[in-house]
């Protein structure tokens, strides 16, 4: 890899031309297919760091589904249950550990992942390429590609699908620089290693922290490290299930993440898994229809769109049915990139099955927040580490 700069299609918007990426050394990647844009490369380099860190921290293949410089989902390669295979429209496809990681990352929030940028920690194999080929995606970054997998991916988007190969051994300089409005900003790169050392300072009465919770707290915290702040992340079974990104208040982050987690659980309801789809309807249309199943009210156009997806129009889920199903789930991990200023975030998190919480601590009302966790029997950890990302 000897290229020092690469022209981009355009900047953040089509009228922002010319645009390029460049380095005073050698670019740590090469484009194998297609022509990435400015936002594509922002997503590529952020998401690559996320999956690289997940792999290093947990020793499992990792994947991320990125949209607009934040992860819609991230996960490690834990085998999929039959329920998740059905919820993710996997069926009987052959699934490798890497493919399972991407299925989980894409499955966290399938609506948001439509047109995602994909990052994979390992060499892309054929099962993963087959899975990617089925989905609407804007590009992919990985450290390598099996020849047959690469050939398969090159056919996507009529041969225009952006495929980037990253140097897995590349390490950037310690200091990073960006420019805004003609002014240069410089800071030390956020090279904090997220591992179980951040999870030692338990501040609640409940101190039981099983290995599965440690794993999920690490998944959520590494995802936060590359999520636009303010942000809160819910994780479960080795994957993100709800990310609340870029909000100006912590409670709105929590509500957004909790709502997405609720939808993730609701997708696994037998009534959803057994929906009878109209012949020929695609996965994106199914995702949209499933989302409408969970809304309390529909406009006339939404009602028409929803009803047209099915062979036989089903009844939408009642509030009582939704609450009953969601009450079955617990053991969810939550990570916050900054402290909770009030207990309201804990109250909302409990409604979505949160049992384990990590946040920096240091708020004026820390004792109120701890007390809320004790009220619900949660385990709370103060990491003493803020993870803002902009």
C-beta neighbour count of 16 within 10 angstroms? 11
Any idea what DSSP says for residue 12?
A: S
288 classed as catalytic: no
225 classed as catalytic: no
Any idea what DSSP says for residue 303?
A: H
What residues form DSSP beta bridges with 242? 234
What residues form DSSP beta bridges with 141? 119, 164
What residues form DSSP beta bridges with 33? 163
Cβ–Cβ under 8 Å, residues 323 and 351? no
Catalytic residue among 15, 188, 279, 390: 390
Place of tokens 């089903």: 314
230 classed as catalytic: yes
Catalytic residue among 68, 86, 130, 154: 68
Catalytic residue among 52, 67, 260, 269: 67
Q: Can you state the angle between helices 126-134 and 97-107, rounded to 10 degrees? A: 20
The pair phi, psi for residue 89, each rounded to 5°, is 60, 35
CA distance 223 to 271: 31
Catalytic residue among 52, 230, 260, 389: 230
Cβ–Cβ under 8 Å, residues 286 and 272? no
Q: How many helices (H) and strands (E) does the chain have?
A: 13, 15
**C-alpha dihedral sign at 227, 51, 237, 337:** negative
CA distance 380 to 236: 16
15 classed as catalytic: no
What residues form DSSP beta bridges with 20? 7
Catalytic residues: 67-68, 230, 390
């Amino acid at each position: 890899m000897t290229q020092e700069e690469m022209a981009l299609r355009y900047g953040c918007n089509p009228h922002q031309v010319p645009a390029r990426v460049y380095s005073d050394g050698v670019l740590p990647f090469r484009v194998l297919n297609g022509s990435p844009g400015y936002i594509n490369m922002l997503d590529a380099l952020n998401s690559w760091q996320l999956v690289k860190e997940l792999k290093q921290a947990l020793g499992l293949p990792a994947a991320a589904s990125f949209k607009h410089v934040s992860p819609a989902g991230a996960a490690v390669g834990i085998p999929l249950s039959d329920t998740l295979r059905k919820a993710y429209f996997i069926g009987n496809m052959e699934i490798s550990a890497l493919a399972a990681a991407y299925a989980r990352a894409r499955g966290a929030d399938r609506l948001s992942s439509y047109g995602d940028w994909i990052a994979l920690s390992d060499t892309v194999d054929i099962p993963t390429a087959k899975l990617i080929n089925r989905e609407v995606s804007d590009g992919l970054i990985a450290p390598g590609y099996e020849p047959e997998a690469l050939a398969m991916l090159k056919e996507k988007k009529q041969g225009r699908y952006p495929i980037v190969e990253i140097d897995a051994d590349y390490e950037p300089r310690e200091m990073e620089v960006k420019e805004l409005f003609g002014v240069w900003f410089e800071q030390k790169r956020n090279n904090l290693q997220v591992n179980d050392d951040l999870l030692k300072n338990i501040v609640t009465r409940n101190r039981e922290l099983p290995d599965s919770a440690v794993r999920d707290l690490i998944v959520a915290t590494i995802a936060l490290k590359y999520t636009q702040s303010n942000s809160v992340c819910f994780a479960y079974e080795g994957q993100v299930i709800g990310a609340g990104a870029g909000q100006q208040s912590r409670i709105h982050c929590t509500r957004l993440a909790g709502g997405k987690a609720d939808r993730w659980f609701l997708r696994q309801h037998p009534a959803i898994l057994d929906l009878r789809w109209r012949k020929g309807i695609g996965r994106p249309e199914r995702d949209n229809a499933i989302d409408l199943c969970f809304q309390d009210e529909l406009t006339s156009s939404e009602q028409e769109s929803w009803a047209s997806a099915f062979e036989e129009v089903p009844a939408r889920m009642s509030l009582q049915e939704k609450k009953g199903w969601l009450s079955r789930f617990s053991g969810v991990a939550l990570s916050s990139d900054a402290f909770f200023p009030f207990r309201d975030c804990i109250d909302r998190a409990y409604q979505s099955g949160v049992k384990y919480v990590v946040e920096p601590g240091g708020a004026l009302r820390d004792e109120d927040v701890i007390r809320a966790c004790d009220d619900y029997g949660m385990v709370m950890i103060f990491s003493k580490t803020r993870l803002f990302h902009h």
